[in-house]
Amino acid sequence: METNLLAFALGMPEVVLILAVILILFGAKKLPELARGMGKGIKEFKHATREIQDDIEEALNDDPPPPPKKSSSSPEGEKSEHWTDKTVDKDSASED
């Protein structure tokens, strides 16, 4: 346990002091509830992190979609159904 606490430069007296302050602030009855809540929060965070990591790995491993096929221009005898082909001429609009 000492190796984990060295990262924060906390010795045993500091840890005991912090735990004593927490015990005084929250009381003995609230500590298990707080610890349970922290445990659930950490578990949910790990689950979300793992899920995001799996999604990223899945996206990287998926094959890219095939390129779109080039459509050949429609034959001259066929009418196009595209909306831009249905423009109104000034001459045909004035006849109505």
Q: Read off the pLDDT of residues 4-46 as tens digits, 9 standing for 90 and up.
A: 545 567 788 998 998 889 888 888 888 889 889 999 999 999 9
CB 80 within 8 A of CB 74: yes
Termini Cα distance of the chain: 90
Cβ partners under 8 Å of residue 79, min gap 6: 85
Long-range contacts of residues 62-69, Cβ cutoff 8 Å, at least 24 apart? none
The answer, yes or no, to whether residue 73 has pLDDT greater than 80, is no
AA identity, residue 80: S
